[in-house]
Every structure is written in structure tokens, then in C-alpha cells.
Amino acid sequence: MKQVERVSKTKQAHKYDLWFRDQVAIALIDANSSNATWVNSEDLRARMKERAEIRKLNN
């Protein structure tokens, strides 16, 4: 791999790392909000199953 390609990939990785850390920070702020809504795993699975069934019917 050429040095230019390595530098480009390093910059891309750094940008992605910054973006990812920003997303985690936002998620933590949202999760700590008094307005946060939590969904248990059983309810989430049921919702996802319903959505999948609806998608099957619509396709």
C-alpha cells in the first residue's frame, strides 16, 4: 500500500472515530434525559416481528 493511501485511510479512520465517539456521547446524553423512554427486550422483539410481518405483506 502506498504512503498516500495509508495516510488517506488513517484520516478516514480518524474521522470515523470522532463521529462514533460523538454518537456515543449523544446517546448517553439522551439516555440520561428525564424524557428517555426505555423498552424491554421482549417488547422490542415483538415490535420488530410486527414490522417484519408488515413488510412481508407490503412486498
pTM of the predicted model as reported, rounded to 2 decimal places:
0.61
Q: What's residue 59's pLDDT?
A: 84
- Per-residue pLDDT tens, the chain, 59 aa: give them: 799 899 999 999 999 999 999 999 999 999 999 999 999 999 999 999 999 999 999 98
Three-state secondary structure string covering the chain: CCHHHHHHHHHHHHHHHHHHHHHHHHHHHHHHCCCCCCCCHHHHHHHHHHHHHHHHHHC
Q: What's residue 25's pLDDT?
A: 98
